[in-house]
């Protein structure tokens, strides 16, 4: 059962001016659906429906059932353009999902076990909040877990240190880029020094 659904209509009035009118007059979000060996399709969706869907973080890395004028297709979010100040979605790009055909998606990162290095006096910095993965639609993870329970002060956790879920590859690693995901460092200001400064 697919919990992630969006209703949309085909959009024939194209161009930047048309998109602005859609957003202003009808509270609609313009979008494009492409991929799956079909022609790109311009659509529009109710802004409030898009906002409601995106309240759930999992929607960013989940297969969405897109109902365009009664025709249903499975898609994932490829890109979102947001208003720089207000944060609402101005435009969306969706990619069609084809069973048996690998897809590329951006998946959120969940950090766990941070209390352990913090108890040892360390500070944890998150370097990334999401990771690009490639996999079959059936293997698409909701998130990637990064366990920091055994991280020592001074350590850097890289992509290669993470265990990818079965059938999932990290795109950056495939391109030879073993990027940092998080690091544990000593506090920049020692507590004693701060107290001494306050006493003076």
In tens, the pLDDT along 122-151 reads: 999 999 999 999 999 999 999 999 999 999
Distance CA 127, CA 107 (A): 15
Cβ neighbours of residue 189 under 8 Å, at least 6 residues apart? none
Give the per-residue pLDDT at 12. Answer: 73
pLDDT at 17 over 70: no
Q: Tell me whether strands 144-147 and 103-112 are parallel, antiparallel or unpaired.
A: parallel
Q: Identify whether the C-beta of residue 175 lies closer than 8 Å to the C-beta of residue 141.
A: no
Alpha helices in 82-190 (DSSP H): 115-119, 171-174
> Band of the pLDDT at 86, cuts 50, 70, 90?
confident
- Burial of 170 by CB count in 10 Å (0-12 exposed, 13-18 middle, 19+ buried)? buried
- What is the 8-class DSSP label of residue 128? -
Give the per-residue pLDDT at 189. Answer: 65
| pTM score of the predicted model | 0.76
pLDDT at 159 over 90: yes
In tens, the pLDDT along 184-197 reads: 998 876 555 444 44
> Band of the pLDDT at 51, cuts 50, 70, 90?
very high
By C-alpha distance, which of 50, 42, 52, 63 is closest to 90? 50
Lowest mean pLDDT among 93-97, 116-120, 136-140, 187-191: 187-191
- 84: number of CA atoms within 13 Å, CB side? 0
Distance CA 154, CA 50 (A): 42
Give the per-residue pLDDT at 97. Answer: 94
């Amino acid at each position: 059962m697919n919990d992630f659904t969006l209703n949309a209509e085909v959009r024939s009035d194209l161009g930047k001016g048309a998109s602005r009118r859609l957003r202003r007059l009808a509270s609609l979000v313009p979008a494009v659906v492409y991929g799956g060996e079909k022609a790109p399709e311009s659509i529009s969706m109710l802004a409030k429906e898009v906002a409601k869907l995106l309240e759930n973080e999992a929607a960013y890395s989940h297969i969405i059932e897109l109902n365009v004028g009664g025709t249903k297709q499975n898609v994932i979010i490829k890109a979102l353009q947001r208003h720089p100040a207000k944060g609402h979605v101005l435009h969306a790009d969706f990619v069609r999902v084809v069973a048996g055909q690998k897809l590329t998606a951006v998946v959120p990162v969940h950090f766990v076990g941070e209390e352990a290095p913090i108890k040892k006096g360390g500070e944890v910095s998150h370097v990334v909040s999401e990771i690009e993965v490639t996999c079959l639609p059936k293997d698409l993870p909701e998130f990637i877990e990064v366990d920091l329970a055994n991280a020592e002060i001074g350590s850097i956790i890289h992509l290669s240190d993470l265990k990818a879920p079965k059938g999932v590859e990290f795109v950056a690693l495939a391109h030879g880029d073993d990027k940092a995901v998080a690091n544990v460092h000593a506090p920049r200001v020692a507590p004693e020094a701060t107290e001494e400064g306050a006493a003076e």
